[in-house]
Structures are given as structure tokens and as C-alpha cells.
């Protein structure tokens, strides 16, 4: 182990608590899942404690251990798409210094968000769900008019549900296609 690396380790260990996860993995904030993995492999090659298991100084091993635990922590958060979005919003916000580490509070916020999304897929109210599932049956059978009625029903209970609106737009587009072209209707 050369002197330069030792200085690097000491500096990193010292500023560890001021770095965000992007800083720990030496990534920029636009990084996607593949970049995160590549960075994790790169940093693991540099700081994996196994590499320094035979180093005499317990102090150096402790520092490397601390750095590597943070690298793992950063990886667990940034590799997860949902957590990464939440984390990026947190560290870009005014509370940056308090949000450098992803804690149980953030974790439960991400989970609540996910749960809301899942529920939205199927509807948040019993009646909304009932109408939406009826609509899905009609869509499968390509009975577009019945599907439109059911979706409008669902939207009566959940006016803001993005998924219902999207489905309705699709159904209406299908309906448009099936309408005879040309204007021969009785005026």
C-alpha cells in the first residue's frame, strides 16, 4: 500500500459524513442504475476490506471498513430506482445536510409512495375498483362502448386517478376508429 493511497483513505474517512451517496460512489447526479453498478464495482476494487485484511495497522483497516460500509450503503439506496429518485430530491432540497444518509423515515416515505401507486392502479375506492375491473373485462372483449361507460363510472368516484384517465383516452380512441367514416348521419 503506497503513501498516496493512505492519504486518500485518510481524507475520505475524514469527510465521509459530509458526502452524499453520489460523492461516496464518485458519481454525478444524473447516473442511472447501470452507472451505479459500474461505480460500485470500481469502488469495491479500490476499497474492499479483503484487499487490506493483511495490513498491519488496525487504524487503517478500521478506516477502510468504515468507508466500505458507506459504499455498500450508498449502493443499496442508489441501485433502487424508487429510492434513488427520493434520495436525489432530498439531497437537492433545502434539508440536504440532514438527508445525506437514507434513514428509516425516507424508507417508509418511499414505501408509502409505492403503495399509493399500486392502489391507484386498481383504484383507491371500492366503487372505483369495481367499475375499473368491469371496464377491463369489456376492453378484453373489445366492447368499447361498454368499456367507456364503466371507465366514466370509475372516474366519477376517483376523478384524479391518472390510470383511469389514460384507459379512458385509449378506449375513446378505439371508439373513434370503429365509428363509420364519412358524414352520412341524419342531420
> Which positions lie near other proteins, rule CB under 8 A?
1, 41, 44-45, 48-55, 65, 68-69, 72-73, 75-76, 103-104
Question: Is-contact 123 161, C-beta < 8 A?
Answer: yes
Nearest approach in angstroms of CB 54 to other proteins is 5
Q: Please give the full DSSP string across 43-76, using - where no structure is assigned.
A: HHHHH-GGGGTT-S-HHHHHHHHHHHHHHHHHHH
- Residues, the chain, total? 187
Nearest approach in angstroms of CB 40 to other proteins is 8
What are the angstrom distances between the C-alpha of 27 and each of 20, 54, 78, 88, 112? 10, 29, 10, 12, 28
Nearest approach in angstroms of CB 142 to other proteins is 30
Question: Is-contact 75 40, C-beta < 8 A?
Answer: yes
Nearest approach in angstroms of CB 168 to other proteins is 32
Instruction: Taking the CA atoms of 7, 11, 13 and 14 in sequence, report the sign of the dihedral they define.
Output: positive
Amino acid at each position: 500500500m503506497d503513501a498516496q493511497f493512505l492519504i486518500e483513505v485518510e481524507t475520505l474517512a475524514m469527510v465521509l459524513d459530509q458526502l452524499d451517496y453520489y460523492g461516496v460512489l464518485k458519481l454525478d447526479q444524473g447516473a442511472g442504475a447501470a452507472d451505479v453498478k459500474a461505480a460500485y464495482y470500481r469502488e469495491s476494487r479500490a476499497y474492499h476490506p479483503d484487499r487490506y485484511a493483511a495490513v498491519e495497522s488496525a487504524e487503517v483497516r478500521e478506516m477502510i471498513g468504515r468507508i466500505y460500509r458507506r459504499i455498500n450503503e450508498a449502493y443499496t439506496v442508489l441501485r433502487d430506482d424508487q429510492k434513488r429518485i427520493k434520495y436525489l430530491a432530498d439531497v437537492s432540497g433545502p434539508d440536504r445536510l440532514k438527508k445525506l444518509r437514507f434513514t428509516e423515515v425516507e424508507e417508509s416515505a418511499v414505501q408509502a409512495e409505492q403503495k399509493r401507486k399500486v392502489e391507484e392502479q386498481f383504484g383507491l375506492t371500492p366503487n372505483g375498483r369495481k367499475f375499473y375491473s368491469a371496464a377491463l373485462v369489456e376492453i378484453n372483449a373489445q366492447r368499447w362502448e361498454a368499456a367507456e361507460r364503466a371507465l366514466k363510472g370509475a372516474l366519477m368516484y376517483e376523478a384524479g386517478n391518472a390510470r383511469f384517465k389514460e384507459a379512458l383516452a385509449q378506449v375513446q380512441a378505439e371508439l373513434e376508429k370503429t365509428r363509420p367514416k364519412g358524414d352520412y348521419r341524419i342531420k
